[in-house]
Structures are given as C-alpha cells and as structure tokens.
Structure 1
Amino acid sequence: MTARAASGREIRDDRGSVTAEFAVALPAVLACLALCVGALYGAVQYGALAGGAATAARLEGRGDDPGGSIPGGAAAVTEREGRTVCVRLTAEGDTVLSRLGIRLSARACALDEAAVG
C-alpha cells in the first residue's frame, strides 16, 4: 500500500515486513539451537563414556568385572596389548548424533596386573 505525503511523493507502507523477516529467520535460529543442544548432549555423553572406559580398564587390569562401570547404552570391547588392557566404549542407540552419522567412542588403557606379576 502506498500513501501520498504533503510533498506529493509516495510513501511505502512497511506493515508486515517484521513478520516476514521473522518467518525467514526463525528456522535458522531453531536449527542453530538444535545443533547447540546436540553438541552439549554429545559432550555429556562423551564424558560418561570416557569415565566409564577409564574405570572399566582399571577394573579389567585388576582382574575384576567391569560390568557396573559401563554406562547404559554402550558397547564395550576389551583388547590386551602386551602389558596393558584397553577398553573401548561405543555409544549405541538412536540419538540425534547417530542420525547425523556421528558415533561417540572413548578408549582407555590401564596396566594389566595379571600380565605383570
């Protein structure tokens, strides 16, 4: 819509432009927010995996059962390399990160006391 000013020039009506700009910007803001939440979730999950892998490696090195130290939804693989025992935990399950093709994994090693003594 246009209106005429006292000088005879047309003045454009800007009503609705904020709504249009908001409609264009909202999906981008929501996508950024979703990525931030996903990254935060991934960092927390990686911390749990790293802590669980370290504890499981120490327990495995002592000859104890590391089952209680493995977080839920994680698959554990134990590898023995010379005088060390290593545990790799990999997050499993359907999460936002797995849908993006990102697999979280943590590996920790400890001295294998059975091989030393």
Structure 2
Amino acid sequence: MTAEFAVALPAVLVVVALAVGTLGAASRHVRLQDAAADAARWVARGEDSDSALGLVGEAVSGASASIEYRGDLVCVIASAPAGAALTFVDLRASSCALAGGL
C-alpha cells in the first residue's frame, strides 16, 4: 500500500496544482474582461486614453491593452499572462462601447 501511495501522490498533487491554477486563471480573466469594459466606456465618454489603459494595468498586474476605433465603437483589447501556475497561457479580453455614449 505504501508503494501505491508513493506513486499516486505526485499525480494527485499535479492535478490539484493544475486545478488551482485554472481557477486562478479564470478569476484573472474575469478581472481582465471587466477592466477592458471599464476602459472602453472610459474612452467612449471622451476621457484620456492613457488613463483608461492604466485602469487595465491597475486591475490586472502585468496586463497590457490597446484601443481600436471601429466606426462608432471604441474597443479595448487587453491581454495578460494567466499567472504563476500557467505561465504558458496568455489571457485575452476585448470590449467595445459606443463613442460619445454615457
């Protein structure tokens, strides 16, 4: 029984570590999406674009963002690394708002 436990324990630890990393990445993605939406609304209201991009960086550490204008829409595209456990994954989020909107 000890040998089976010694073989199974590392596999269980890897699965638990990946599960925790996945939950952390999902949480980070939600924060990134919310930050992109806030920044898009900020720019659409006519506020400073640099401060809007700063909102994304403050909400999610290591995030970067860019602004695109698509007709009447202002879109913010943000990306950030998923976190320490999933360094090979890059999260992306985008959000658009009607320019001149409230």
TM-score, structure 2 as length reference = 0.84
Structure 1 vs Structure 2 CA RMSD: 1.8
Matched, 1:19 2:6: no
Greater relative contact order (Cα < 8 A, sep 6+): 2
Q: What is the identity percentage for the equivalent residue pairs of Structure 1 and Structure 2?
A: 45
Give the conservation status (yes or no) of the 8 Å contact 2:62–2:81.
Answer: yes
Q: How does 1:1-117 map to 2 (within 5 A)?
A: 18-65=1-48, 66-70=52-56, 71=59, 72-92=61-81, 95-98=84-87, 101-113=88-100
Runs of 4+ deviating beyond 3 Å: none
> Higher helix proportion, which one?
2
TM-score, structure 1 as length reference = 0.74
**Offset of residue 96 of structure 1:** 2.3
Instruction: Name the CA distance, whole Å, in 2 between partners of 1:93 and 1:33.
Output: 17
- The one-letter amino acid of 2:33's match is A
**Offset of residue 67 of structure 1:** 4.0
- The one-letter amino acid of 2:18's match is L
Secondary structure, aligned partner of 1:33: helix
Other-structure match for 1:13? none
Give the conservation status (yes or no) of the 8 Å contact 1:73–1:93.
Answer: no
- Give the unaligned 5+ runs of structure 1: 1-17
In the alignment of these two chains, the number of paired residues is 95
Q: Looking at CA atoms only, which structure, 1 or 2, has the larger radius of gyration?
A: 1
